[in-house]
Amino acid sequence: MSFLAPLFLLGTLAVALPILFHLIRRTSRERMPFSSLMFLSPTPPRVTRHSRLENILLLLLRCLVLLLLALGFARPFLQKPRAADPSSDTGKRIVLLLDTSASMRRDNLWALAQAKADEVLRTAKLADQVAVFTFDRQARPLVTFEQWSSMDAGQRAGLTMQQVRSVTPGWFSTRLCDAILTAAESFDEKLPEQQTFGLREIVLISDLQEGSHLDGLQGYEWPRDIQVIIEPIRARRTTNSGVQLVTEHDETAAPSSDSGPRIRVLNANDSKREQFQIRWEGVPEAEPLDVYVPPGQNRIFAAPKLAPGIKGERLVLNGDDEEFDNKAFFVQPKADTVSVLYLGNETETDSAQPLYYLKRAFQQTRNQIVQIIARRVDTPLAAAEVQNAHLMIVTESLPEEQVKTAEQFLNAGKTVLFAMKAPAAASTIARLTASPGFNAEEASMPRYAMLAEINFEHPLFLPFADPRFSDFTKIHFWKYRRIEIDKLPRARVLARFDQKANPALVEVPVGKGHLLLLGSGWHPTDSQLALSSKFVPLLYSILEQSGGLKAQRLQYVVGDPVSLVITNGAATLNVTKPDGSTVALPKGDNFTQSDQPGIFTIDAQPPVRFAVNLDPAETKTAPLPVEELERFGVPLKKDRTVETAQREEKKRYLLAAEQEKQQKLWRWMIVAALIMLIAETWLAGRLVHRGPASAEAV
Amino acid sequence: MSLPELTEAPPRPRPDSASTRTVQAPTLHTTPGSFIDPQALMAIKNLELRAKVVVEGFWNGLHRSPFHGFSVEFTEYRQYSPGDDPRYLDWKLYARTDRYYIKKFEDETNLRCHLLVDNSKSMGYGSGSYTKAQYANTLAATVAYFLYLQGDAVGLLTFDEQIREYLPARNRTGHLRHLMLALDKPAAGTATDLSAPLKRIAEIVTKRGLMVLITDLLAPIGTLEKHLIALTACRHEVTVFHVLDPVELSFNFEKALMFHDLESGRDLFINPADIRKEYLRKLTAHNAAAQAICLKLGIGYQRFGIDRPLELALFDFLRERMQRGKKIKRTGSIRTKA
């Protein structure tokens, strides 16, 4: 027997009342007159002992009445077996999205996620189709709809779970938006014939950390019948903070400067602690740094100081609950030596000559040491010098031997800057550019000339493209040589003088390299160029153009492609990962397997090391409010199990109500109660009449 | 008040004679079973008749006693001595005995007895077929009748918390009937207040006499002493009949019941088994206190249950008076005239 309103069964507790009343010796309704109560004091009513329960039959009747009433109100009915639900035939298509980002390495999140996945897979009906995707910075199919359909129906869940168990969370950041969109698009797969699916569901099993990227969801047009079910996984301990490197060294700092790297400590929004400690791992003598970061904030600190000569590579944060983001790897940059070959018959100390200014233009920094090798034009050059140099600067006409060297230099794909101090150098240029008719002559002008028509699109002038830096009018040229541009094949004018539009800077490709031809010099007799603020950037720009300045990037985030093109001149390069495994990289390829944080080593001469760190966003482990997803228009469905349970419950209740309505057992209960009541009244009446003694208890 | 006094002359009257003046000290040589059962007595509706039955039964039970001198009779004969007023010579006696006797005025010598009967609601209680009030009234009627037979003046004062009826002490024909009617009136009052009636009677009755107080004394006893003192100070002779129901004395209820106070109307749920001891202790203390007061003031105090035959009560009354007479005689304070 079942009950429609089982709460009314609580009414059966009222049975205790008549029992209690029978136990209490009730105050007699009959009064005994007495002369005076002056010697009497009242006695409180007492509960008689159990053995003195009187009028058992009456008591039983009263209890029965109450029981029957309670049962009647509870609306009992006899349950009949239910017919199978016909609506559960059409299946659903479910995409299971499993978060395998670095933040899932916390605590036992992955075990929970697996358990949830298992639950989803096991509750999938026979007609349902399930695909499983794992995602971090991109979504990867683990089991597709096709694979699911091809599996034996009874073993689908088990086989799929095997696949799920083979996966572990990686070190990548979370791009939730991409994952959801991939999942949504995966529904577009072709359906097997004669199969229709009603609902399409995306079940997202994730820790939904704040650092998940959602921006990609903006403006996505959601198909109608897709629902996203979120199965959030919550960590037990929420205190998490991480350490990241902010910037590398100040590029302009002197090589001897001892300023360490700067670090950012980020504390998650739901952290419970605020005090952490940062120390260099493997450097026991370094003092640890105590930092205070309130929850939800980040602070920037200078890394703990290291004694001179000691190098630290791993910064470790202590004091939070989660380990995965507590290490920052750091590779100390090594200064690169860049050689610039200067050919000219000048002394370094002569301030009227270009070399004097050139020497002072290049400052030594921590990343680069620019070495100017000045040679007289008649001095033969060492082969190594030429080979190592990245840029050659010529100011005078060269003898035959040097011209050949310069040609080789150009053919090797390097750059030669020719600053014409005198029109006589034209012959050398004609040789180098293989244009015999080329000539140059001293230009005549009233006072001075300025640069005009500068090609800011050219990489050389690109740094000056911004209007703030594009003012070259303050550079006056007192003298310049007119270059006959039409004599130079493939020449490209990068800047002109404002008078008569004579070319000022011309780029001529020679062989693989480039010849940059400047119609004037930067020394004071020719122009104000050396003294202007544009001189040094322009030189660096030329140096960069010539390939002398390499963008030395040593810090990467997990998943970033690492550009090894410059280093990768050999046939193959071996890259050793932090876990010791080696990856062979074909020539010219970028390294893409930066899938773990740590220090990677490239087997080159000399070995190159770079650090890969965790995405700082992964440290933001506080749960993302579900409303945030709603804000992006994700069609969320309320908790899957709860809703199903509610629906089931409602259905069951309706069915029960119907059965109860048909049976109407409650009527019989009430009738029985009424009969009992009549019997009770009759019995009580008889007892009252039989004698006051027995009536007392009534 | 007449005091017991041995006289040679007075002729012994027949006990059953209405004109008897002298009664020998009563000694009851009967077993209690030979008395009239009060229950049977109370079946008689007429109060006067009840009194008659008791008194006559009482006479029947009396035997001659060697004790002389106890009398409630006041009329006296004294041998004439020169100087006496010849007006008071009893010539009839002289004719019979040839001796001169001086006859005293009846008015002077007769006993003035006031019956103070408690008529409060508490007196309306009776565990048997009759109440304490009925018993008290019968007792009062009996005493009144007895005294009336002796020619004493009997007055009546019934009271509850205030005075209800007052009949001055007289010995007229028909007075007894008035008295009986007054006694027959149903009780109207509620509480018992002894102080007001005692105070009042002390004010009203200036001539000294006998005061018979019939009550259950179910009232605070605090002021009782003060007013009894007032009475004795007026040289009244006071006797207290403390009547109680046997159930009041034993409190032998068994079941827990709702007890209803007849006087205050208060209801109280009481389990007798629990508080019987306490009740009896309080009652005994109360009674002892009352008795102690009476003893202290030289007041006769009789306490009995209402199942006690009335003859015995009457006997107690007489014996108590006789003993008092003896006591006075021993002390030698002979007073011949009121």
Q: How many angstroms separate the CA of residue A28 from the nearest CA in chain B?
A: 6
- Rounded to whole angstroms, the Cα distance separating A4 from A73 reads 9
pLDDT score of B245 more than 60? yes
- Which chain B residues are within 8 Å of A46, Cβ to Cβ? 271
Most confidently modeled of A37-51, A167-181, A325-339?
A167-181
The answer to whether B252 faces chain A, any CB pair under 8 Å, is no
Query: Which of A304, A169, A289, A297 lies closest to A619, judged by CA?
Result: A297
- Nearest chain B residue to A43 by CA distance is B270
Distances (CA, A) of A469 to A361, A456, A545, B271, B286: 18, 11, 19, 114, 125
pLDDT score of A406 more than 60? yes
- Rounded to whole angstroms, the Cα distance separating B232 from A655 reads 98
The partner residue sitting opposite A39, judged by closest CB among B132, B271, B282, is B282
Cα of A9 vs its chain's centroid, Å: 55
- Least reliable range by pLDDT among A171-185, A622-636, B97-111: B97-111
- Least reliable range by pLDDT among A91-100, A253-262, B92-101, B177-186: A253-262
Amino acid at A411: N
Higher pLDDT, A247 or B167: B167
Look at residue A191 in the predicted model and tell me its pLDDT. Answer: 62
Look at residue B189 in the predicted model and tell me its pLDDT. Answer: 65
The sign one gets for the Cα dihedral B285, B286, B291, B294 is positive
A337 three-class SS:
strand
Q: At B11, is the pLDDT very low, low, confident or very high (cuts 50, 70, 90)?
A: very low
Look at residue B76 in the predicted model and tell me its pLDDT. Answer: 66
**Across residues A494-522, what is the average pLDDT?**
89
Residue A364, token pair as written in the block: 């030594």
Assessment of whether the complete model's pTM goes beyond 0.80 = no
Check CB contact under 8 Å for A43 and B269: yes
- Nearest chain B residue to A30 by CA distance is B258
Look at residue B164 in the predicted model and tell me its pLDDT. Answer: 83
Exposed/middle/buried for A444, CB within 10 Å: 0-12, 13-18, 19+? exposed
pLDDT score of A119 more than 50? yes
B313 three-class SS:
helix
Check CB contact under 8 Å for B264 and A40: no
Query: Which of A605, A564, A549 lies closest to A391, judged by CA?
Result: A549
pLDDT score of B223 more than 80? no
Other beta carbons within 10 Å of B276:
15
Q: At B64, is the pLDDT very low, low, confident or very high (cuts 50, 70, 90)?
A: very low
- Rounded to whole angstroms, the Cα distance separating A163 from A131 reads 12
- Rounded to whole angstroms, the Cα distance separating A616 from A556 reads 11
Look at residue A679 in the predicted model and tell me its pLDDT. Answer: 92
- Rounded to whole angstroms, the Cα distance separating A183 from A144 reads 11
- Least reliable range by pLDDT among A10-14, A391-395, A504-508, A642-646: A642-646
**Across residues A527-554, what is the average pLDDT?**
84
pLDDT score of B10 more than 60? no
- Rounded to whole angstroms, the Cα distance separating B184 from B162 reads 18
How many A-B residue pairs are in contact by the CB < 8 A criterion? 80
pLDDT score of A335 more than 80? no
Q: Do residues A375 and A343 make contact, with C-beta atoms less than 8 angstroms apart?
A: yes
Look at residue B312 in the predicted model and tell me its pLDDT. Answer: 83
- Nearest chain B residue to A694 by CA distance is B255
Beta-strand relationship, A91-99 and A197-206: parallel
Check CB contact under 8 Å for B262 and A28: no
pLDDT score of B174 more than 80? yes
Q: How is B134-180 classified by DSSP, letter by letter?
A: HHHHHHHHHHHHHHHHTT-EEEEEEESSSEEEEEEEE--TTHHHHHH
**Across residues A312-318, what is the average pLDDT?**
87
- Nearest chain B residue to A25 by CA distance is B256
Q: At B110, is the pLDDT very low, low, confident or very high (cuts 50, 70, 90)?
A: low
- Which chain A residues are within 8 Å of B216, Cβ to Cβ? 35
pLDDT score of B285 more than 80? yes
DSSP code of A395? -
**B315 membership: H or E segment, kind and range:** helix B310-331
Check CB contact under 8 Å for B122 and A36: yes
Residues 6+ apart with CB under 8 A from A228: A180, A201, A202, A204, A629, A634, A635, A636, A637
Look at residue B12 in the predicted model and tell me its pLDDT. Answer: 37
DSSP code of A296? T
Q: How many angstroms separate the CA of residue B149 from the nearest CA in chain A?
A: 34
- Which chain B residues are within 8 Å of A34, Cβ to Cβ? 125, 259-262
Residue B85, token pair as written in the block: 């007023």
Q: At B29, is the pLDDT very low, low, confident or very high (cuts 50, 70, 90)?
A: very low
Q: Do residues A178 and A139 make contact, with C-beta atoms less than 8 angstroms apart?
A: yes
Q: At A254, is the pLDDT very low, low, confident or very high (cuts 50, 70, 90)?
A: low
- Which chain A residues are within 8 Å of B132, Cβ to Cβ? 35
Look at residue B107 in the predicted model and tell me its pLDDT. Answer: 46
Q: At A234, is the pLDDT very low, low, confident or very high (cuts 50, 70, 90)?
A: confident
- Least reliable range by pLDDT among A202-216, A288-302, A500-514, B199-213: B199-213
- For the segment B256-266, what is each residue's pLDDT rounded down to a tens digit? 777 888 877 78
Cα of B145 vs its chain's centroid, Å: 11
- Least reliable range by pLDDT among A318-322, A486-490, B80-84, B191-195: B191-195
Residues 6+ apart with CB under 8 A from A581: none
- For the segment A391-400, what is each residue's pLDDT rounded down to a tens digit? 999 988 888 8
Q: Beta-strand (E) ranges in A478-624?
A: 481-483, 492-497, 503-510, 513-518, 555-557, 572-576, 582-586, 598-602, 608-613
- Nearest chain B residue to A36 by CA distance is B261
Q: Do residues A220 and A633 make contact, with C-beta atoms less than 8 angstroms apart?
A: yes
The answer to whether B303 faces chain A, any CB pair under 8 Å, is no
**Across residues A282-300, what is the average pLDDT?**
88
Residues 6+ apart with CB under 8 A from A594: A556, A558, A559, A560, A561, A562, A600, A612
- For the segment A659-698, what is each residue's pLDDT rounded down to a tens digit? 888 888 889 999 999 999 999 999 888 887 775 444 344 3
Q: At A257, is the pLDDT very low, low, confident or very high (cuts 50, 70, 90)?
A: low
- Rounded to whole angstroms, the Cα distance separating A410 from B278 reads 134
- Which chain B residues are within 8 Å of A28, Cβ to Cβ? 255-258, 269
Q: At A502, is the pLDDT very low, low, confident or very high (cuts 50, 70, 90)?
A: confident
Q: How is A518-560 classified by DSSP, letter by letter?
A: ESS-SSTTTBSGGGSTTHHHHHHHHHHHTT-S-----EEETTP
**Across residues A275-301, what is the average pLDDT?**
88
- Nearest chain A residue to B220 by CA distance is A38
- Rounded to whole angstroms, the Cα distance separating A444 from A480 reads 8
Question: Which of B122, B125, B160, B257 has the most A C-beta neighbours within 10 Å, making it the best mutation to test the interface with A?
Answer: B257
Higher pLDDT, B325 or B147: B147
Edge-to-edge strand ranges of the sheet holding A226-232: A139-143, A129-135, A91-99, A197-206, A226-232, A636-637
Amino acid at A73: F
Q: What is the 3-state secondary structure (H, E, C) of A190-257?
A: CCCCCCCEEEEEEEEEECCECCCCCHHHCCCCCCCCEEEEEEECCCCCCCCEEEEECCCCCCCCCCCC
| Average pLDDT of the residues of chain A | 83
Look at residue B227 in the predicted model and tell me its pLDDT. Answer: 79
Check CB contact under 8 Å for A37 and B268: yes
Look at residue A527 in the predicted model and tell me its pLDDT. Answer: 92
CATH dotted code for B32-60+110-331: 3.40.50.410
Q: Do residues B263 and B191 make contact, with C-beta atoms less than 8 angstroms apart?
A: yes
Check CB contact under 8 Å for A28 and B216: no
pLDDT score of A126 more than 90? no
Residue A498, token pair as written in the block: 């404002």
Look at residue A464 in the predicted model and tell me its pLDDT. Answer: 92
Look at residue A461 in the predicted model and tell me its pLDDT. Answer: 92
Which B positions 99-128 lie with beta carbon below 8 A of chain A?
122-125
Give exposure, B78-91, as e/b (b: 16+ Cβ within 10 Å).
Answer: bebeeeeeeeeebe
Query: Which of A217, A229, A136 lies closest to A175, judged by CA?
Result: A136
Residue A355, token pair as written in the block: 């070399």
The sign one gets for the Cα dihedral A377, A415, A554, A585 is negative
The partner residue sitting opposite A40, judged by closest CB among B123, B262, B270, is B270
Residue B291, token pair as written in the block: 């008795």
Q: Do residues A97 and A130 make contact, with C-beta atoms less than 8 angstroms apart?
A: no
- Which chain B residues are within 8 Å of A27, Cβ to Cβ? 258, 269
Query: Which of B147, B113, B135 lies closest to B18, judged by CA?
Result: B147
Q: How many angstroms separate the CA of residue A55 from the nearest CA in chain B?
A: 18
Q: Do residues A62 and A680 make contact, with C-beta atoms less than 8 angstroms apart?
A: yes
Name the one residue in this structure whose structure tokens are 């009995």.
B304
- For the segment B227-241, what is each residue's pLDDT rounded down to a tens digit? 788 888 888 888 899
The partner residue sitting opposite A42, judged by closest CB among B270, B279, B282, is B270
Check CB contact under 8 Å for B279 and A39: yes
Residue B295, token pair as written in the block: 């003893």
The partner residue sitting opposite B275, judged by closest CB among A28, A33, A40, is A40
Look at residue B334 in the predicted model and tell me its pLDDT. Answer: 36
Per-domain residue ranges of chain B: 32-60+110-331
The partner residue sitting opposite A43, judged by closest CB among B245, B266, B270, is B270
pLDDT score of B21 more than 80? no
Residue B57, token pair as written in the block: 């039964």
Q: At B4, is the pLDDT very low, low, confident or very high (cuts 50, 70, 90)?
A: very low
pLDDT score of B132 more than 80? yes
The answer to whether B270 faces chain A, any CB pair under 8 Å, is yes
The percentage of residues in chain B with a pLDDT greater than 70, rounded to a whole number, is 77
Q: How many angstroms separate the CA of residue A61 from the nearest CA in chain B?
A: 27
Q: Beta-strand (E) ranges in chain B?
A: 77-79, 101-103, 112-118, 153-159, 163-170, 210-215, 237-244, 257-261, 267-270, 300-305
Residue A490, by phi and psi: left (phi above 0), alpha (psi -120 to 50) or beta? left
